[in-house]
Amino acid sequence: MNLTLNNGVTMPAIGLGVFQTPPEATTEAVAAALKTGYRHIDTAAAYGNEREVGEGIRRSGVDRSEIFIETKVWISDYGYEETLHAFEKSAAKLGVEQLDLFILHQPLSTAFEKTIAAYTALEKLLADGSVRAIGVSNFMPKHLLKLREQTTVVPAVNQVELHPYFTQPEVQQANAQMGILTQAWSPIGGITSYRGDNARTTFNDPAILAIAGEHGKSAAQVMLRWQLQLGHSVIPKSVRPERIAENFDVFDFELTQAQMEALAALDTGVRGGPDPDAITLEAFGRPIPEA
């Protein structure tokens, strides 16, 4: 299933996420995903595994042109020249000439001028054909508005935390109004289980499991289907081939309107990840190695 971005480029709705996938497991996870049928991988300079993503793609035997590669610039590389160089680093590590989607990993609220300079570099990369689409991540509506006032190209995607426990309706709405595709990170609520010691997670949630039972599907499959029916892109992460396959097997059932609403009603309003305004160079900056 493909989604069409605001510049006409098509992107497979489901991608494999590789945040926290150790480099040594990344090549195999990517190869397993491509074998399953995935044609979209989401990585980031900050994940430290772009090289292994590239290796997994080459080893898969699937032609580069069939695979949608998305990666992210880390905040330490924000600035016009710095971000142009960040493209060179990511492309070289991935072993590709062109990226399909290049996005800013975070807004830098305390140094927004650097965020603007970085985005201006993405616009240049788009104009010269180095990237096929550009976007942002973790941008709240106020960040999107500020960005739109000072730059030209509407981001193609805004990748944000989004699962049944944290649905960010105001972000979904702002994205839709501006023609930006919502891409869900932690789309199955992984962050509700791997961060903190929550007894209740999206995977053991009784309401989600009840809906899963009605379709003979898993909780993860129900959450992914919910996102797809909302029109979102999803990038579930797993290092296990059986789960990688499970997370792709979501096209043979349909949630009812009542089930869609029941899932949205699980929103707690509490994010699992950091508040985007808490991301500063002082606290989160760290050098991204050269290729």
Q: Residue 248, interface with ligand NAP (CB under 6 A)? A: no
Residues, the chain: 291
If binding means CB under 6 A, how many residues of this protein chain bind ligand NAP?
29
| Cα 187 from Cα 169, distance rounded (Å) | 15
- Pick from 26, 42, 172, 232 the residue near ligand NAP by CB under 6 A: 42
Closer residue to ligand NAP, CB minimum distance, 167 or 218:
218
Closer residue to ligand NAP, CB minimum distance, 172 or 218:
218
Whether 47 is a known active-site residue: answer yes
Task: Mark residues 129-148: x for contact with ligand NAP by CB under 6 A, - for none.
Answer: --------xx----------
Q: What interhelical angle do 50-60 and 80-94 show, nearest 10?
A: 40
Q: Any bridge partners for residue 185, and if so which?
A: 161
Task: Mark residues 43-82: x for contact with ligand NAP by CB under 6 A, - for none.
Answer: ----------------------------------------
In the complex, least distance from residue 105 CB atom to ligand NAP, rounded to whole angstroms: 6
Q: Are residues 81 and 99 in contact, defined by beta-carbon separation less than 8 angstroms?
A: no
Q: Are residues 155 and 120 in contact, defined by beta-carbon separation less than 8 angstroms?
A: no
Burial per residue of 59-79, b for 16 or more beta-carbon CB atoms within 10 angstroms, e otherwise: ebebeeeebbbbbbbbbbbbb
- Pick from 121, 190, 233, 263 the residue near ligand NAP by CB under 6 A: 190
Closer residue to ligand NAP, CB minimum distance, 127 or 200:
200
- Pick from 17, 54, 107, 155 the residue near ligand NAP by CB under 6 A: 17
Task: Mark residues 203-242: x for contact with ligand NAP by CB under 6 A, - for none.
Answer: x--------------x-x--------------xxxxxx--
Place of tokens 């050269």: 290
Give Cβ neighbours of residue 269 (< 8 Å, ≥ 6 apart).
166
Q: Residue 194, interface with ligand NAP (CB under 6 A)? A: yes
Burial per residue of 165-174, b for 16 or more beta-carbon CB atoms within 10 angstroms, e otherwise: bbbbeebbeb
What values do phi and psi take at 54, rounded to 5?
A: -60, -40
Closer residue to ligand NAP, CB minimum distance, 46 or 152:
46
Q: Residue 191, interface with ligand NAP (CB under 6 A)? A: yes
Known catalytic residues? 47
